[in-house]
C-alpha cells in the first residue's frame, strides 16, 4: 500500500510517500519520497511556537512539498485532470494560498497512490487545519481514501521503521516530547491505556524552558544535552545532586517537571553562571534530574512484570543519555526495546504513514473513500484512534 502522508501539527511541515507492507509477520516501510521543512529558526525569536505564524508557514510550504515528494517518488506526470478541481478547492476556502497552488497537483498520474494519511491531532489547531484541509482537497481531487491519524501514534510506531516485527504484547510505550510525557499500556488489539502522564510541563518543555534560563536558545533539548555531554566526558563519575527529582518516589506513574525548572530558576538567581564549565555542569545537573525521574518511572512499570516489550518515541528520545539509560534498563530486565532511528524521533511525516498503515492493518481504521468530513482534534488523547 502506497501512502502519501502529511504532518503539520506543530512547527514542521512534512510530506512523505511510503510503500508500506506486512508479510511474514513483519512490517516493511520503503521511503519513496520524504520532505520536511522546519520552522524552528523562525519561532526561535519568540522562544516557542507561535500558532498563527506556524499556520502561515505551513500554508506556504505544503503544496510545493507535496509536488516535490510526488516527483521524488517517481509519480508520473500525466494529462491535466481537472474534473474534481473545483470541488477540491472548496475545502481550501480558509487557505487561499493553498487553494491557488492546488492546480499544480492536477498534472500527476496518482494511480500508484492508495491513500492519504494526515495528522488530525494533537497539536496546534490552526497548524493542523492546513494539513487536514489540504488532505481533504487531495482526497477529492484524486478520489483517494483518507486516513485520519493521531500524531502520538506516529511517535509510538516510529520504532517499527524501516522493518520490524510488531511489539511483543502487552507493550509499554514511553512518549517524551515537547507537548507530552506519557507511559502507555498497549494490548495486542492495539487498545491503548494511559498509565501515567505529566501533571504540568512535558519533559521536552522543561528542557526548552531550562535552555532559555541558561541562555542557550530554542529548541533547547539538544543544546542542553550537548553541554551536558561535555561535562559527562570530563567528569564521568560525577554524582548530580543539585536539583530535586519531583514525584520520583510517588506510587503513581505520573511525573511533574515544573518544579525542576523553578529550582533551576532560583539557583541561577542566587548563583549566576560563572563560565563555560559552570554552564556545562548546570546542564548536566538539570539533565540528570530530568532523566532520573522518567527512567525510574519506566523501570518501575517494567518491573511490574506486566509488559513484554518497551517502545519509545518523541523528540526527547534524541537525547543520547536517555537512550543509553533505557538500553541499560531493558537489557538488565531482558525486555526487548523498540527504539526509533535518530532522524525519526522529532516530528516528521514518515511516522504518520507508519501509524496509518499499522492502524489499518490492525483494523483500527477502515479505508473509506467517502470519508471527507474529518476534523482537527487539537486535544486528541494518545489512547484514541479517530
Chain positions 281 to 340 lying near ligand KG4, rule: CB under 6 A, are: 314-316, 318-319
Closest CB 199 distance from ligand KG4, rounded Å:
18
346 binds, among ligand KG4, Zn ion, none (CB under 5 to 8 A by kind): ligand KG4
What lies within 8 Å, CB to CB, of 317 at 6+ separation is: 176, 323, 339, 340, 345
Binder of ligand KG4 out of 14, 33, 121, 221 (CB under 6 A): 221
**Does residue number 208 form part of the binding site for ligand KG4 (CB under 6 A)?**
yes
Q: Which stretch binds Zn ion (CB under 5 A): 160-168, 209-217, 231-239, 340-348?
A: 340-348
Cβ density class 49-65: b for 16+ within 10 Å, e for less = bbeebbbbbbbbbbbeb
* Chosen residue from 73, 131, 145, 204 binding ligand KG4 by CB under 6 A: 204
CA 282 to chain centre: 28
177 binds Zn ion (CB under 5 A): yes
From the list Zn ion, ligand KG4, none, which binds 219 (C-beta under 5 to 8 Å, kind-based)? ligand KG4
Q: Which stretch binds Zn ion (CB under 5 A): 113-121, 134-142, 341-349, 350-358?
A: 341-349
8 A C-beta contact, residue 301 and residue 255: no
Q: Assess 201 for contact with ligand KG4 (CB under 6 A).
A: no
Q: Which three cell numbers stand for residue 157?
A: 510506531
Q: Pick the binder of ligand KG4 from 5, 177, 283, 330 (CB under 6 A).
A: 177
* Residues in Cβ contact with 190 at an 8 Å cutoff, skipping those fewer than 6 apart: 358, 359, 362, 364, 385
Give which of ligand KG4, Zn ion, none residue 319 binds (C-beta under 5 to 8 Å, depending on kind): ligand KG4
β-bridge partners, 6: 15, 118
Closest CA to 110 of 84, 140, 142: 142
Query: 139 vs 158, which CB is nearer to Zn ion?
Result: 158
Strand 309-313 relative to strand 171-176, pairing: parallel
CA distances from 113 to 24, 143, 185, 244, 319 (A): 24, 10, 33, 52, 35
208 binding partner (options ligand KG4, Zn ion, none; Cβ < 5 to 8 Å by kind): ligand KG4
Cell 551536558 -> residue: 228
Select from ligand KG4, Zn ion, none the partner in contact with residue 148, using the beta carbon and a kind-dependent cut-off of 5 to 8 Å.
none
What residues contact residue 273 under an 8 Å CB cut-off, 6+ apart?
214, 215, 279, 282
Q: How far is the CB of 171 from Zn ion (least distance, A)?
A: 19
225 touching ligand KG4, by CB under 6 A? yes
The partner in contact with residue 307, picked from Zn ion, ligand KG4, none with C-beta cut-offs of 5 to 8 angstroms by kind, is none
The DSSP line for 4-52 is: EEEE-SSSEEEEEEEEEEEETTEEEEEEEEEEEEE-HHHHHTTTS--HH
Q: Applying CB under 6 A, which of residues 3, 10, 301, 380 lies at the interface with ligand KG4?
A: 10
Our CB check for ligand KG4 shows the closer of 103 and 229 to be 229
Integer Cα distance of 265 and 229 in angstroms? 21
One of 347, 354, 364, 377 touching Zn ion (CB under 5 A):
347
Q: Measured from the CB atom, is 33 or 121 closer to ligand KG4?
A: 121
Contact 269, 300 (CB under 8 A): no
CB of 113 to ligand KG4, least distance (A): 26
Summarize as ranges the residues that interact with Zn ion (CB under 5 A). 177, 347
Summarize as ranges the residues that interact with ligand KG4 (CB under 6 A). 10, 177-179, 204-205, 207-208, 219-222, 225, 314-316, 318-319, 346-347
Amino acid at each position: 500500500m502506497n501512502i502519501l502522508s502529511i504532518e503539520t501539527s506543530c512547527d514542521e511541515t512534512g510530506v512523505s510517500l511510503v510503500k508500506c507492507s506486512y508479510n511474514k509477520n513483519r512490517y516493511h516501510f520503503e521511503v519513496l519520497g520524504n520532505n520536511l521543512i522546519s520552522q524552528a529558526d523562525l519561532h526561535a525569536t519568540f522562544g516557542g511556537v507561535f500558532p498563527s505564524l506556524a499556520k502561515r508557514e505551513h500554508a506556504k510550504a505544503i503544496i510545493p512539498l507535496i509536488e516535490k515528494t510526488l516527483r521524488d517518488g517517481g509519480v508520473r506526470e500525466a494529462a491535466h485532470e481537472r474534473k474534481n478541481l473545483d470541488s477540491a478547492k472548496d475545502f481550501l476556502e480558509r487557505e487561499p494560498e493553498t487553494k491557488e497552488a492546488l492546480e499544480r497537483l492536477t498534472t500527476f498520474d496518482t494511480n500508484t497512490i492508495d491513500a492519504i494519511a494526515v495528522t488530525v491531532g494533537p497539536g496546534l489547531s490552526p497548524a493542523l487545519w492546513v494539513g487536514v484541509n489540504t488532505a481533504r482537497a487531495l482526497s477529492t481531487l484524486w478520489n483517494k481514501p483518507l486516513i485520519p491519524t493521531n500524531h502520538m501514534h506516529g511517535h509510538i510506531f516510529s520504532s517499527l521503521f524501516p522493518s520490524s516485527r510488531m511489539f511483543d504484547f502487552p507493550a509499554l510505550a514511553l512518549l517524551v516530547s515537547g507537548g507530552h510525557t506519557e507511559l502507555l499500556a498497549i494490548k495486542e488489539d492495539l487498545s491503548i491505556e494511559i498509565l501515567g502522564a505529566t501533571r504540568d510541563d512535558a519533559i521536552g518543555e522543561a528542557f526548552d524552558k531550562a535552555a532559555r534560563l541558561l541562555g542557550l536558545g530554542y529548541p533547547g533539548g539538544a543544546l542542553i544535552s550537548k553541554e551536558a555531554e561535555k561535562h559527562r566526558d570530563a567528569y564521568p563519575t560525577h554524582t548530580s545532586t543539585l536539583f530535586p527529582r519531583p514525584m520520583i518516589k510517588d506510587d503513581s506513574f505520573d511525573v511533574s517537571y515544573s518544579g525542576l525548572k523553578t529550582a533551576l530558576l532560583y539557583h541561577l538567581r542566587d548563583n549566576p553562571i560563572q563560565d563555560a564549565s559552570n554552564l556545562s555542569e548546570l546542564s548536566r545537573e538539570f539533565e540528570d534530574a530530568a532523566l532520573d525521574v522518567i527512567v525510574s518511572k519506566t523501570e518501575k512499570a517494567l518491573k511490574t512484570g506486566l509488559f513484554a516489550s518497551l517502545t519509545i518515541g518523541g523528540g526527547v528520545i534524541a537525547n543520547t543519555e536517555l537512550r543509553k539509560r533505557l538500553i541499560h534498563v531493558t537489557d538488565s530486565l531482558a525486555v526487548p526495546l523498540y527504539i526509533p532511528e535518530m532522524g525519526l524521533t522529532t516530528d516528521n511525516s514518515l511516522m504518520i504513514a507508519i501509524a496509518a498503515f499499522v492502524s489499518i492493518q490492525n483494523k483500527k481504521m477502515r479505508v473509506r473513500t467517502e470519508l471527507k468530513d474529518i476534523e482537527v482534534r487539537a486535544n486528541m488523547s494518545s489512547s484514541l484512534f479517530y
